[in-house]
Chain A
Amino acid sequence: MIARRWVALTLAAIATACDWARSPLEPDPASVALDEIILLSQTRTPAVMPADGESVDTIRAHLPSEAKPTTVQFRTTLGRFQGAETPNVIDVRVVPGADGMVAEAVLVAADSAGVAEVRGVVSGFTALTTVAMTPIHEGAQ
Protein backbone atom coordinates (compact mmCIF):
# COMPACT_ATOMS: atom_id res chain seq x y z
CA MET A 1 0.00 0.00 0.00
CA ILE A 2 2.80 2.38 0.99
CA ALA A 3 4.75 1.40 -2.11
CA ARG A 4 1.75 2.26 -4.30
CA ARG A 5 1.51 5.68 -2.67
CA TRP A 6 5.19 6.30 -3.32
CA VAL A 7 4.82 5.24 -6.94
CA ALA A 8 1.79 7.54 -7.33
CA LEU A 9 3.61 10.43 -5.64
CA THR A 10 6.71 9.92 -7.79
CA LEU A 11 4.67 9.82 -11.00
CA ALA A 12 2.76 12.94 -9.94
CA ALA A 13 6.06 14.72 -9.19
CA ILE A 14 7.49 13.71 -12.58
CA ALA A 15 4.32 14.86 -14.36
CA THR A 16 4.39 18.19 -12.51
CA ALA A 17 8.09 18.68 -13.31
CA CYS A 18 7.52 17.88 -16.99
CA ASP A 19 4.56 20.25 -17.15
CA TRP A 20 6.63 23.03 -15.55
CA ALA A 21 9.54 22.30 -17.86
CA ARG A 22 7.47 22.99 -20.97
CA SER A 23 6.31 26.59 -20.97
CA PRO A 24 3.90 27.62 -23.74
CA LEU A 25 5.67 29.00 -26.76
CA GLU A 26 5.13 32.53 -27.98
CA PRO A 27 2.08 32.61 -30.28
CA ASP A 28 2.24 33.47 -33.93
CA PRO A 29 2.22 37.27 -34.39
CA ALA A 30 -0.90 36.92 -36.55
CA SER A 31 -2.85 35.68 -33.53
CA VAL A 32 -2.06 38.79 -31.47
CA ALA A 33 -5.14 41.02 -31.07
CA LEU A 34 -4.97 44.20 -33.16
CA ASP A 35 -5.53 46.48 -30.17
CA GLU A 36 -2.43 44.93 -28.54
CA ILE A 37 -0.45 46.21 -31.52
CA ILE A 38 -2.09 49.54 -32.40
CA LEU A 39 -5.20 51.42 -31.36
CA LEU A 40 -6.33 54.69 -32.97
CA SER A 41 -8.20 57.54 -31.27
CA GLN A 42 -9.10 60.99 -32.48
CA THR A 43 -9.94 64.24 -30.71
CA ARG A 44 -11.12 67.60 -31.97
CA THR A 45 -8.31 69.99 -31.11
CA PRO A 46 -9.58 73.23 -29.66
CA ALA A 47 -6.07 74.35 -28.82
CA VAL A 48 -5.32 74.69 -32.49
CA MET A 49 -7.19 77.67 -33.84
CA PRO A 50 -8.44 76.60 -37.24
CA ALA A 51 -8.53 78.99 -40.12
CA ASP A 52 -11.87 79.85 -41.54
CA GLY A 53 -13.52 76.83 -43.06
CA GLU A 54 -11.12 74.28 -41.51
CA SER A 55 -11.50 71.46 -39.02
CA VAL A 56 -8.54 70.20 -37.04
CA ASP A 57 -8.43 66.76 -35.40
CA THR A 58 -5.56 65.00 -33.69
CA ILE A 59 -5.22 61.32 -34.57
CA ARG A 60 -3.35 59.27 -31.96
CA ALA A 61 -1.94 55.80 -32.41
CA HIS A 62 -1.54 53.95 -29.10
CA LEU A 63 1.06 51.19 -28.88
CA PRO A 64 2.08 48.97 -25.94
CA SER A 65 4.51 50.61 -23.52
CA GLU A 66 7.18 47.98 -24.35
CA ALA A 67 6.94 48.72 -28.09
CA LYS A 68 10.24 49.15 -29.86
CA PRO A 69 11.04 52.52 -31.50
CA THR A 70 9.02 52.39 -34.70
CA THR A 71 7.05 54.47 -37.14
CA VAL A 72 3.31 54.65 -37.68
CA GLN A 73 2.06 55.52 -41.12
CA PHE A 74 -1.24 57.46 -41.13
CA ARG A 75 -3.39 57.53 -44.24
CA THR A 76 -6.62 59.45 -44.70
CA THR A 77 -9.32 59.38 -47.34
CA LEU A 78 -10.29 63.00 -46.75
CA GLY A 79 -8.38 66.13 -45.78
CA ARG A 80 -4.61 66.44 -45.32
CA PHE A 81 -2.06 65.84 -42.61
CA GLN A 82 -0.30 68.88 -41.26
CA GLY A 83 3.37 68.89 -42.33
CA ALA A 84 2.99 65.95 -44.72
CA GLU A 85 4.80 65.90 -48.06
CA THR A 86 2.09 63.79 -49.59
CA PRO A 87 -1.13 65.38 -48.26
CA ASN A 88 -2.95 62.20 -47.30
CA VAL A 89 0.01 60.15 -45.96
CA ILE A 90 2.42 60.87 -43.11
CA ASP A 91 4.99 58.80 -41.24
CA VAL A 92 5.25 59.60 -37.55
CA ARG A 93 7.82 58.30 -35.04
CA VAL A 94 6.47 56.63 -31.91
CA VAL A 95 7.47 58.39 -28.70
CA PRO A 96 6.87 57.60 -25.03
CA GLY A 97 3.65 59.13 -23.78
CA ALA A 98 1.76 59.24 -20.51
CA ASP A 99 -0.15 56.09 -21.46
CA GLY A 100 2.43 54.08 -23.34
CA MET A 101 4.05 54.69 -26.69
CA VAL A 102 2.13 57.09 -28.95
CA ALA A 103 2.32 58.69 -32.38
CA GLU A 104 0.25 61.74 -33.26
CA ALA A 105 -0.76 63.35 -36.54
CA VAL A 106 -2.89 66.44 -37.07
CA LEU A 107 -5.61 66.02 -39.68
CA VAL A 108 -6.82 69.23 -41.28
CA ALA A 109 -9.87 69.45 -43.49
CA ALA A 110 -10.74 72.59 -45.45
CA ASP A 111 -14.21 73.16 -46.80
CA SER A 112 -14.66 69.46 -47.11
CA ALA A 113 -17.40 68.24 -44.85
CA GLY A 114 -17.75 64.52 -44.67
CA VAL A 115 -16.34 61.46 -42.94
CA ALA A 116 -12.66 60.68 -43.30
CA GLU A 117 -11.42 57.12 -42.90
CA VAL A 118 -8.01 57.29 -41.18
CA ARG A 119 -5.76 54.27 -41.08
CA GLY A 120 -2.70 53.69 -38.93
CA VAL A 121 -0.24 51.08 -40.19
CA VAL A 122 2.48 49.44 -38.05
CA SER A 123 4.49 46.39 -39.09
CA GLY A 124 1.84 45.49 -41.64
CA PHE A 125 -1.03 45.74 -39.14
CA THR A 126 -3.69 48.36 -39.92
CA ALA A 127 -6.09 50.01 -37.48
CA LEU A 128 -8.99 52.16 -38.69
CA THR A 129 -10.92 55.10 -37.27
CA THR A 130 -13.38 57.54 -38.79
CA VAL A 131 -13.32 61.28 -38.35
CA ALA A 132 -16.35 63.46 -38.97
CA MET A 133 -15.21 66.58 -40.81
CA THR A 134 -17.18 69.60 -39.71
CA PRO A 135 -15.38 72.75 -40.93
CA ILE A 136 -15.80 75.81 -38.78
CA HIS A 137 -16.78 79.03 -40.51
CA GLU A 138 -16.19 82.47 -39.04
CA GLY A 139 -19.33 83.95 -37.69
CA ALA A 140 -20.87 80.55 -37.29
CA GLN A 141 -22.57 80.11 -33.92
Chain B
Amino acid sequence: MGALLVPSPSEGQEVVVRYPLKVVEVDLSMGRVAAPLPFGEVFLLKVPVPEGASEIALDVRTVTIINGRTTTTSTMPAQTHLTRADWGPRSAVVFQVPPLRPKEDYRFALTVSRTESLGVQAGRLKKGEARVTGRTATTFADYVTTDAGLLVASRTRYMGALTSLHFYTVPINVREDFSVGQLFTEPRKALSVFLGITPLELYTEAKVDKLYPVGSPVIGLGLRVYRNARIGAGVMFFEQPDGNPIVESSVDKRDLFFTFGFDVSYGAVLGPIAGLLGAS
Protein backbone atom coordinates (compact mmCIF):
# COMPACT_ATOMS: atom_id res chain seq x y z
CA MET B 1 0.00 0.00 0.00
CA GLY B 2 1.17 3.48 -0.73
CA ALA B 3 1.58 6.38 1.63
CA LEU B 4 -0.31 9.63 1.93
CA LEU B 5 1.74 12.77 1.69
CA VAL B 6 0.88 15.59 4.01
CA PRO B 7 1.96 19.10 3.09
CA SER B 8 4.29 21.05 5.34
CA PRO B 9 2.52 22.05 8.52
CA SER B 10 4.05 25.50 8.54
CA GLU B 11 1.03 27.41 7.37
CA GLY B 12 1.80 30.26 5.04
CA GLN B 13 5.42 29.16 4.65
CA GLU B 14 6.06 27.96 1.15
CA VAL B 15 8.56 25.15 0.93
CA VAL B 16 10.24 24.90 -2.44
CA VAL B 17 11.90 21.55 -2.94
CA ARG B 18 14.27 21.06 -5.88
CA TYR B 19 15.42 17.54 -5.09
CA PRO B 20 13.86 14.18 -4.27
CA LEU B 21 12.97 14.11 -0.60
CA LYS B 22 14.55 11.53 1.67
CA VAL B 23 12.14 9.21 3.42
CA VAL B 24 12.76 8.16 7.00
CA GLU B 25 10.65 5.30 8.25
CA VAL B 26 9.30 5.13 11.76
CA ASP B 27 9.45 1.91 13.77
CA LEU B 28 6.58 2.33 16.21
CA SER B 29 7.28 -0.94 18.02
CA MET B 30 10.91 0.07 18.80
CA GLY B 31 10.03 3.71 19.36
CA ARG B 32 12.67 5.04 17.03
CA VAL B 33 13.34 5.97 13.44
CA ALA B 34 14.87 3.38 11.15
CA ALA B 35 17.80 5.58 10.06
CA PRO B 36 19.69 8.68 11.23
CA LEU B 37 17.70 11.83 10.58
CA PRO B 38 18.92 14.15 7.84
CA PHE B 39 19.68 17.73 8.81
CA GLY B 40 19.26 20.98 6.94
CA GLU B 41 16.73 19.68 4.44
CA VAL B 42 13.05 18.90 4.23
CA PHE B 43 12.38 15.18 4.53
CA LEU B 44 9.46 12.79 4.81
CA LEU B 45 8.57 10.83 7.91
CA LYS B 46 6.76 7.66 7.00
CA VAL B 47 4.52 6.37 9.78
CA PRO B 48 2.65 3.06 9.59
CA VAL B 49 -1.00 3.54 10.41
CA PRO B 50 -1.73 1.85 13.79
CA GLU B 51 -4.59 -0.56 13.80
CA GLY B 52 -7.89 1.07 14.49
CA ALA B 53 -6.52 4.60 14.25
CA SER B 54 -8.99 7.24 13.21
CA GLU B 55 -6.70 10.24 13.45
CA ILE B 56 -2.92 10.76 13.68
CA ALA B 57 -1.26 14.00 14.71
CA LEU B 58 2.46 14.76 14.66
CA ASP B 59 4.45 17.06 16.88
CA VAL B 60 8.22 17.35 16.35
CA ARG B 61 10.17 18.28 19.48
CA THR B 62 13.81 18.90 20.21
CA VAL B 63 15.12 17.03 23.21
CA THR B 64 17.41 18.79 25.66
CA ILE B 65 18.90 17.24 28.76
CA ILE B 66 19.89 19.80 31.40
CA ASN B 67 21.16 18.55 34.79
CA GLY B 68 19.70 15.12 34.14
CA ARG B 69 16.27 16.52 33.33
CA THR B 70 14.91 15.95 29.86
CA THR B 71 12.94 18.81 28.38
CA THR B 72 11.38 18.96 24.98
CA THR B 73 10.50 21.97 22.86
CA SER B 74 8.10 21.86 19.98
CA THR B 75 9.70 22.85 16.70
CA MET B 76 6.66 22.27 14.56
CA PRO B 77 2.99 23.13 15.02
CA ALA B 78 0.94 20.23 16.24
CA GLN B 79 -1.94 20.89 13.87
CA THR B 80 -0.45 18.35 11.49
CA HIS B 81 -3.05 15.69 11.69
CA LEU B 82 -4.73 13.28 9.37
CA THR B 83 -7.98 11.43 9.62
CA ARG B 84 -8.97 8.04 8.34
CA ALA B 85 -10.68 9.72 5.41
CA ASP B 86 -7.29 11.14 4.39
CA TRP B 87 -5.36 7.91 4.23
CA GLY B 88 -8.20 5.64 3.15
CA PRO B 89 -6.88 2.17 2.33
CA ARG B 90 -3.19 3.16 2.65
CA SER B 91 -1.07 1.43 5.26
CA ALA B 92 1.18 4.40 6.04
CA VAL B 93 1.03 8.15 6.18
CA VAL B 94 3.88 10.49 5.35
CA PHE B 95 4.53 13.75 7.15
CA GLN B 96 6.72 16.41 5.65
CA VAL B 97 9.23 17.54 8.27
CA PRO B 98 10.98 20.91 7.97
CA PRO B 99 14.81 21.09 8.15
CA LEU B 100 16.29 19.99 11.46
CA ARG B 101 19.53 21.14 13.08
CA PRO B 102 22.55 18.80 13.01
CA LYS B 103 23.69 16.77 16.00
CA GLU B 104 20.46 17.13 17.97
CA ASP B 105 18.01 14.65 19.46
CA TYR B 106 14.43 14.86 18.30
CA ARG B 107 11.23 13.35 19.54
CA PHE B 108 8.30 12.75 17.25
CA ALA B 109 5.12 12.70 19.30
CA LEU B 110 2.43 10.89 17.39
CA THR B 111 -1.00 11.32 18.88
CA VAL B 112 -3.16 8.48 17.70
CA SER B 113 -6.91 8.68 18.21
CA ARG B 114 -9.12 5.59 18.16
CA THR B 115 -12.88 5.42 18.24
CA GLU B 116 -13.96 2.59 20.48
CA SER B 117 -17.22 0.91 19.74
CA LEU B 118 -19.59 0.78 22.71
CA GLY B 119 -22.21 -1.57 21.40
CA VAL B 120 -25.39 0.21 20.35
CA GLN B 121 -24.13 3.52 21.79
CA ALA B 122 -22.05 6.00 19.90
CA GLY B 123 -18.30 5.40 19.70
CA ARG B 124 -15.96 6.85 22.35
CA LEU B 125 -12.83 8.68 21.26
CA LYS B 126 -9.65 7.43 22.94
CA LYS B 127 -6.27 9.08 22.47
CA GLY B 128 -2.84 7.63 22.93
CA GLU B 129 0.62 9.02 22.25
CA ALA B 130 3.45 7.12 20.62
CA ARG B 131 6.90 8.63 21.07
CA VAL B 132 9.59 8.03 18.54
CA THR B 133 13.11 9.38 18.95
CA GLY B 134 15.86 10.03 16.47
CA ARG B 135 19.05 11.99 16.09
CA THR B 136 20.46 14.03 13.26
CA ALA B 137 23.80 12.29 12.77
CA THR B 138 26.85 13.81 11.13
CA THR B 139 30.12 12.37 9.85
CA PHE B 140 33.42 13.93 8.76
CA ALA B 141 32.09 13.94 5.20
CA ASP B 142 29.44 16.48 6.27
CA TYR B 143 32.22 18.99 6.95
CA VAL B 144 33.68 18.66 3.44
CA THR B 145 32.18 19.62 0.10
CA THR B 146 33.54 19.51 -3.44
CA ASP B 147 33.08 22.15 -6.07
CA ALA B 148 34.10 23.13 -9.58
CA GLY B 149 34.42 26.56 -11.09
CA LEU B 150 36.44 29.16 -12.89
CA LEU B 151 39.70 30.64 -11.62
CA VAL B 152 41.23 33.97 -12.67
CA ALA B 153 44.75 34.81 -11.48
CA SER B 154 45.67 38.45 -11.18
CA ARG B 155 49.29 38.82 -12.31
CA THR B 156 49.53 36.10 -14.94
CA ARG B 157 46.00 36.85 -16.26
CA TYR B 158 45.58 33.09 -16.13
CA MET B 159 42.08 31.70 -16.51
CA GLY B 160 41.37 28.05 -15.92
CA ALA B 161 39.07 25.43 -14.46
CA LEU B 162 39.30 24.78 -10.74
CA THR B 163 38.07 21.90 -8.64
CA SER B 164 38.51 21.92 -4.90
CA LEU B 165 37.71 20.42 -1.53
CA HIS B 166 36.08 22.83 0.95
CA PHE B 167 36.45 22.32 4.68
CA TYR B 168 33.90 23.86 7.07
CA THR B 169 33.78 24.21 10.82
CA VAL B 170 30.12 23.12 10.92
CA PRO B 171 28.29 20.27 9.16
CA ILE B 172 27.02 21.29 5.73
CA ASN B 173 24.14 19.85 3.78
CA VAL B 174 24.61 20.92 0.17
CA ARG B 175 20.90 20.33 -0.43
CA GLU B 176 20.05 23.05 2.08
CA ASP B 177 18.60 26.20 0.60
CA PHE B 178 21.34 28.62 1.60
CA SER B 179 20.28 32.24 1.29
CA VAL B 180 22.20 35.51 1.28
CA GLY B 181 20.70 36.39 4.68
CA GLN B 182 22.40 33.35 6.23
CA LEU B 183 25.77 34.92 5.43
CA PHE B 184 25.16 37.11 8.46
CA THR B 185 23.12 34.81 10.68
CA GLU B 186 25.10 31.61 10.04
CA PRO B 187 28.47 32.72 8.64
CA ARG B 188 30.15 29.40 9.51
CA LYS B 189 27.92 27.70 6.94
CA ALA B 190 29.32 30.08 4.33
CA LEU B 191 33.03 30.25 5.18
CA SER B 192 35.37 27.49 4.09
CA VAL B 193 39.04 26.82 3.61
CA PHE B 194 39.76 25.03 0.38
CA LEU B 195 42.46 23.02 -1.32
CA GLY B 196 42.21 22.48 -5.03
CA ILE B 197 43.81 21.95 -8.36
CA THR B 198 43.59 23.69 -11.73
CA PRO B 199 43.57 20.87 -14.27
CA LEU B 200 42.65 22.91 -17.34
CA GLU B 201 44.08 26.17 -18.72
CA LEU B 202 41.65 28.25 -20.76
CA TYR B 203 43.65 31.44 -21.29
CA THR B 204 46.83 33.01 -20.00
CA GLU B 205 48.98 36.02 -20.81
CA ALA B 206 52.09 34.71 -19.06
CA LYS B 207 53.62 31.27 -19.42
CA VAL B 208 52.17 29.09 -16.67
CA ASP B 209 53.28 25.47 -16.29
CA LYS B 210 51.47 22.95 -14.10
CA LEU B 211 53.31 22.11 -10.90
CA TYR B 212 52.02 18.52 -11.03
CA PRO B 213 50.87 16.47 -14.03
CA VAL B 214 47.23 16.86 -12.94
CA GLY B 215 47.49 20.62 -12.48
CA SER B 216 48.68 23.40 -10.25
CA PRO B 217 47.64 23.31 -6.57
CA VAL B 218 45.72 26.13 -4.94
CA ILE B 219 44.74 27.08 -1.40
CA GLY B 220 42.21 29.70 -0.42
CA LEU B 221 39.15 30.93 1.43
CA GLY B 222 35.66 30.35 0.08
CA LEU B 223 32.39 32.11 0.74
CA ARG B 224 29.11 30.45 -0.14
CA VAL B 225 26.88 33.29 -1.30
CA TYR B 226 23.69 31.76 -2.62
CA ARG B 227 22.39 28.22 -2.68
CA ASN B 228 25.35 26.23 -4.05
CA ALA B 229 27.22 29.14 -5.60
CA ARG B 230 30.48 30.23 -4.06
CA ILE B 231 33.15 32.89 -4.52
CA GLY B 232 36.68 32.62 -3.22
CA ALA B 233 40.23 33.90 -3.32
CA GLY B 234 43.58 32.29 -2.72
CA VAL B 235 47.04 31.48 -3.95
CA MET B 236 47.92 29.37 -6.97
CA PHE B 237 51.30 27.63 -7.06
CA PHE B 238 52.77 27.01 -10.49
CA GLU B 239 56.01 26.93 -12.50
CA GLN B 240 57.50 29.16 -15.13
CA PRO B 241 60.43 28.51 -17.44
CA ASP B 242 63.55 30.33 -16.28
CA GLY B 243 63.93 33.76 -17.86
CA ASN B 244 67.35 32.69 -19.06
CA PRO B 245 66.63 30.76 -22.29
CA ILE B 246 69.58 28.41 -21.90
CA VAL B 247 68.58 27.37 -18.38
CA GLU B 248 66.49 24.23 -18.45
CA SER B 249 65.03 24.23 -14.95
CA SER B 250 61.72 25.91 -14.09
CA VAL B 251 61.12 28.40 -11.32
CA ASP B 252 58.40 27.97 -8.67
CA LYS B 253 55.97 30.89 -8.70
CA ARG B 254 52.67 31.89 -7.09
CA ASP B 255 49.84 34.20 -7.97
CA LEU B 256 46.73 35.56 -6.28
CA PHE B 257 43.46 34.38 -7.81
CA PHE B 258 39.73 34.80 -7.54
CA THR B 259 37.23 32.06 -8.22
CA PHE B 260 33.56 31.46 -8.80
CA GLY B 261 32.09 27.99 -8.65
CA PHE B 262 29.31 25.64 -7.70
CA ASP B 263 29.06 22.62 -5.44
CA VAL B 264 29.52 19.42 -7.39
CA SER B 265 28.90 15.92 -6.10
CA TYR B 266 31.52 13.82 -7.83
CA GLY B 267 30.10 10.74 -6.12
CA ALA B 268 26.75 11.32 -7.81
CA VAL B 269 28.46 11.75 -11.17
CA LEU B 270 31.17 9.10 -10.95
CA GLY B 271 29.18 6.52 -8.95
CA PRO B 272 26.92 5.41 -11.81
CA ILE B 273 29.89 5.39 -14.21
CA ALA B 274 31.89 3.24 -11.79
CA GLY B 275 28.86 0.99 -11.44
CA LEU B 276 28.61 0.60 -15.20
CA LEU B 277 32.33 -0.17 -15.48
CA GLY B 278 32.06 -2.67 -12.64
CA ALA B 279 29.09 -4.38 -14.25
CA SER B 280 30.71 -4.66 -17.66
- Residues of A whose CB lies within 8 Å of any CB of B are 18, 20-23, 25-29, 31-32, 36-38, 63-64, 66-70, 122-125
Contacts and interface: CB of A to CB of B under 8 A. Distances in A.
Interface string B236-280: 000011111111110101111000000000000000000000000
Given A21-B235, A26-B241, A63 B246 contact: yes
Q: Is the interface of B mostly helix, strand, loop or mixed?
A: loop
Contact of A32 (B244, B248, B249, B254): B244
Contacts, number: 63
Given A26-B207, A66-B249, A21 B244 contact: no
Contacts of A28: 243
A52 to B, nearest CB: 40
A37 B246 contact: yes
Given A22-B254, A23-B255, A70 B241 contact: no
Contacts of B245: 29, 32, 37, 123-125
A22 B155 contact: yes
Nearest to B251: A26
Interface string B139-159: 000000000000000111000
A29 B244 contact: yes
Given A22-B155, A25-B240, A26-B242, A68 B256 contact: no
Given A21-B235, A25-B206, A66-B249, A37 B244 contact: yes
Contact of B244 (A18, A25, A36): A36
Nearest to A33: B244
A96 to B, nearest CB: 13
A67 B255 contact: no
Contacts of A23: 253-255
Contacts of A29: 243-245
11 contacts: A21-B235, A21-B256, A25-B253, A26-B241, A26-B251, A31-B243, A64-B244, A66-B247, A68-B247, A68-B248, A125-B246
B25 to A, nearest CB: 50
Interface in B26-44: none
Nearest to B154: A22
A67 B248 contact: yes
A134 B253 CA distance: 51
A69 B247 CA distance: 9
Nearest to B239: A26
B247 to A, nearest CB: 5
Contact of B246 (A20, A22, A67): A67
Most buried by A among B242, B245, B246: B246
Contacts of A32: 243-245
A31 B234 CA distance: 30
B57 to A, nearest CB: 52
Given A25-B156, A25-B240, A70 B253 contact: no
Contacts of B255: 21-23
A123 B243 CA distance: 13
Contacts of B234: 21
A139 to B, nearest CB: 46
Nearest to A65: B247
A112 B206 CA distance: 51
A33 B253 CA distance: 21
A69 B246 CA distance: 9
Given A25-B156, A25-B206, A64 B247 contact: yes
A114 B242 CA distance: 40
A32 B248 CA distance: 15
A20 B256 CA distance: 9
